[in-house]
Amino acid sequence: MIDFSIATASDAEAIHELNYLTFTEEIPQHQPNTERKRIDRFHDQNTYLIGKEDDRLVAMIAIRKHRPFSLEEKGVTLDETLTDPAEIRLLSVRPEYRNSRTFMQLMRFLMVYLERETIDHVYISGTTREAKLYARFGFTPIAATLGSGDAQFVPMLLSRATYERSVIADVLRPLHFLAGPVEVAPTVRQAAQQAPRPHRTASMRQLDQNLRDRMCQLLDLPHVSMAVGSGTLANDIVAQQLSGHGLILNGGEFGQRLIDHAARAGKSFDVHSLPSGHPIDLEQLASQLHQTEYDWIWLTHCETSTGVLYDLDAVKALLNQRTALIVDAISAVGTGRFSYAGCRFVTTVSGKAIGGLPGLAFIGHTDCILPSPRVPRYLDLGLYAEGVAFSGSSNLLLACQAALDAIDLDQAAIKMTYLEQAVRATGFNLLATQEAQAPGILTIVHPSATALGDALRIQGYHVQYESDYLVRNQWLQISTMGQTTMRHIERLIRVLVRENQRITIKNEKNERPLNP
C-alpha cells in the first residue's frame, strides 16, 4: 500500500530522480545529464506531496505559492481576482503505477492539502497526453496549448468548485466517521431531492405531524416540537423555559456549552463538574443534591467531546419529584434504545445518529407548552408545539423520515462494539473508561492526533480531529453514527494502525517537512 505524506529532507534525492525520469527522459522538457537527476529551479519554494511504497517514491506533486507562476513567465494572463492561488508543478506518477488508483489517491491528498491551506485555486501546465484525465478531476483549460513536439502543455485551472462538480469527486470523497454531518443512506439523499412543498399546505402539516409522532416514539415522550436549525437552537429554546435555580452537570465541551446557554438566558444555576472520561460519581452528586434543592438539572446524555454516556436512570433515582431533568441527547438519540420518559425537556437533531441531513432541531417535552409573549418568537417553544411555526423545508422532513426508516439500532450496537474492542486491542488510549463508553463515538488520546487525522483523511477516512477543543487536547474521534458497514470499520482499523506506526517512526526520526 502507498503511504502519502509531505516530503522531508530525506526524500530530496528521490524527488530529483523522479523529476528527471518524468521531465527529461519521458517528456523531453530538459536536456539529459549524466547524474540522471534534475533539481527544480523552484525547489526551495516547493512543498512536495509524495506517495511511497516500500520506501520507494512512486508519485509526487509540488505546490508553489510564490508569484510569478510558471504560466505567467510563459506569457499566460491569469485571473487577478482570485485570492491567493497556487501552482502545481512536477505532477508525476511512475509509469507502472499509472493504471492503478495511485493518481486518484494523490489527487485526494492534494485536495486535503489545499483545504488545510485554504487554497481554492491552483494552476497547472498539463501535458496534452493527459488532458482528458485532468478534465475528469475538474481542471479546465484557460489558454491555448504551449510548447511543441512531445513537450506540449495546456494551461489549466482547478478550483474547489470545479473539482466538486467533476466526475471523480464522488469516488474520492472520504468515508465519514463523523458525529455530524454523518454519512447518510442513499434513500435519505433521494428523499431530499423531491420538489419542495409550501410550508402552509395540508401535506406539509401532515408530514410535520407524522415526523413528530415518530420522534415521540423514539424518545418515549408525549410531545415533540420541531424547529429549523441546529442543536444550539434547540438548547436555546429549552433555556427560555427554565425557571428557579438549577444545576448543570459539566463533563466536557458540550457540558460547558450548556453553561453558556443558561448564562446567556440569564438563568440562576450551579455547576457540578465531572471528570473527563468517567461516569458520574453518584455519591458526590447525591451530596450536592442533598445540600441544595434544585428546580432543574441539565446534562448531556452523551458528552460528545469525551465519548462518555451518562447513566440517566441513576440520575433520575437521585431526584425528588419537583426537580426537572433536562437532557441534551443530541449525540445519544439513534445510537441505542433509550427511554426519556419522565424528562421535562430533551433535545436532539436530525443530522447525527438519526442519520438525516443537518437542519432540524427537536425538543421533546412532557407537558403541553403554551406560547409566551415574553419570549422571542423564534425561541418560543409554545409556537413550535402547535405544529409548523415558521417557514420550513419539506426536503429536510422527508430526508429525516427516510433516515428513521433506515435506523437499525441492533446493527449500530454491533458495529460500535466491534470498533471499540478493536481499537482498545491495538493499544490506543481511549479517553472514556469501558463502563462509561458511549455507543456512538469514541475519543482517542494521541500525541500526534492532528497528523493521524490528516493521514486517515488522505487514505479516504474522515474522522473528527479539527475542532479547537480536539486540537487543544490532542484528541481524535471516530463515530459510527452514520451509514457505515463492518467492512468499512475493519478497513479503517487497519489503516489506523498502519498510519499510527508510520507516524511513530517518523516522530522517532524527528523528520521535518522539506521547505516548511
Q: What is the pLDDT of residue 405?
A: 96
Residue 422, C-beta contacts closer than 8 angstroms, at least 6 positions apart: 489, 493
Kind and range of the H or E element at 303? Answer: strand 302-303
pLDDT, mean of residues 188-208: 87
Task: Answer whether residue 511 shows pLDDT above 80.
Answer: no
C-alpha cell at 289: 443534591
Residue 315, C-beta contacts closer than 8 angstroms, at least 6 positions apart: 280, 282, 285, 297, 299, 325
Write the secondary structure of 272-292 as one string of H (helix), E (strand) and C (coil). EECCCCCCCCHHHHHHHHHHC
Compute CA distances 492 → 284, 295, 460, 495, 496, whole Å: 39, 46, 9, 5, 6
Q: What is the pLDDT of residue 401?
A: 97
Q: What is the pLDDT of residue 516?
A: 63
Q: Report residue 101's pLDDT band, with 50, 70 and 90 as the boundaries.
A: confident
Residue 343, C-beta contacts closer than 8 angstroms, at least 6 positions apart: 221, 312, 325, 326, 327, 364, 366
Dump pLDDT digits (tens) for 175-195: 999 998 999 999 999 999 998
- Can you tell me whether residue 311 is helix, strand or coil? coil
pLDDT, mean of residues 427-447: 97
Dump pLDDT digits (tens) for 224-283: 999 999 999 999 999 999 999 999 999 999 999 999 999 999 999 999 999 999 999 999
As separate numbers, helices (DSSP H) first and strands (DSSP E) second, the chain gives 18, 22
Reference 244, options 300, 342, 323; nearest CA is 323
Please check whether residue 297 is in contact with residue 319, taking contact to mean a CB–CB distance below 8 angstroms: yes
Q: In degrees rounded to 5, what are phi and psi of residue 259?
A: -60, -45
Q: What is the pLDDT of residue 42?
A: 95
**pTM, to two decimals:** 0.88
Q: In degrees rounded to 5, what are phi and psi of residue 268?
A: -95, 125
pLDDT, mean of residues 48-69: 96
Neighbour tally for 92: CB within 10 Å: 21
pLDDT, mean of residues 408-430: 95
- Residue 86 pairs in a beta bridge with 122
- Residue 303 pairs in a beta bridge with 308
The count of C-alpha atoms lying within 13 angstroms of the C-alpha of 278, restricted to the half-sphere facing its C-beta, is 7
pLDDT, mean of residues 105-131: 92
Q: What is the pLDDT of residue 506?
A: 83
For residue 315, the one-letter residue type is V
Distance CA 222, CA 364 (A): 8
Q: What is the pLDDT of residue 316?
A: 96
Residue 341, C-beta contacts closer than 8 angstroms, at least 6 positions apart: 220, 221
Pairing of the two strands 245-250 and 146-148: unpaired
Task: Answer whether residue 151 shows pLDDT above 80.
Answer: no
State percent of the chain over pLDDT 90: 81
Mean pLDDT rounded to a whole number for the chain? 94
Residue 425, C-beta contacts closer than 8 angstroms, at least 6 positions apart: none
pLDDT, mean of residues 126-134: 87
Dump pLDDT digits (tens) for 389-404: 788 889 999 999 999 9
Dump pLDDT digits (tens) for 27-45: 888 888 988 999 999 999 9
Contacts 24+ apart (CB under 8 A), 71-78: 71/123, 71/125, 71/143, 71/155, 74/125, 74/146, 74/155, 76/142, 76/143, 76/146, 76/155, 77/143, 78/123, 78/142
Dump pLDDT digits (tens) for 158-177: 999 999 999 889 888 889 99
Q: What is the pLDDT of residue 321?
A: 87
Distance CA 72, CA 497 (A): 44
Task: Answer whether residue 284 shows pLDDT above 90.
Answer: yes
- Can you tell me whether residue 43 is helix, strand or coil? helix
Q: Report residue 145's pLDDT band, with 50, 70 and 90 as the boundaries.
A: very high
Q: What is the pLDDT of residue 202?
A: 84
- Can you tell me whether residue 452 is helix, strand or coil? helix
C-alpha cell at 440: 456512538
In the chain the domains, ranked by start, together with CATH numbers, are 3-173 (3.40.630.30), 186-406 (3.40.640.10), 409-509 (3.90.1150.10)
Task: Answer whether residue 318 shows pLDDT above 80.
Answer: yes
Task: Answer whether residue 512 shows pLDDT above 80.
Answer: no
Q: What is the pLDDT of residue 488?
A: 94
Q: What is the pLDDT of residue 1?
A: 79
Q: Report residue 76's pLDDT band, with 50, 70 and 90 as the boundaries.
A: very high
State percent of the chain over pLDDT 70: 100
Select the more confidently predicted residue: 149 or 313: 313
Place of cell 509526487: 60
Please check whether residue 357 is in contact with residue 351, taking contact to mean a CB–CB distance below 8 angstroms: yes
Q: In degrees rounded to 5, what are phi and psi of residue 251?
A: -120, 10
Distance CA 36, CA 53 (A): 21
Which residue blocks in 167-266 are alpha helix, DSSP H?
169-172, 186-192, 202-219, 231-239, 253-264
Which of 99-103, 204-208, 318-322, 412-416 has the least mean pLDDT? 99-103
Distance CA 50, CA 15 (A): 9
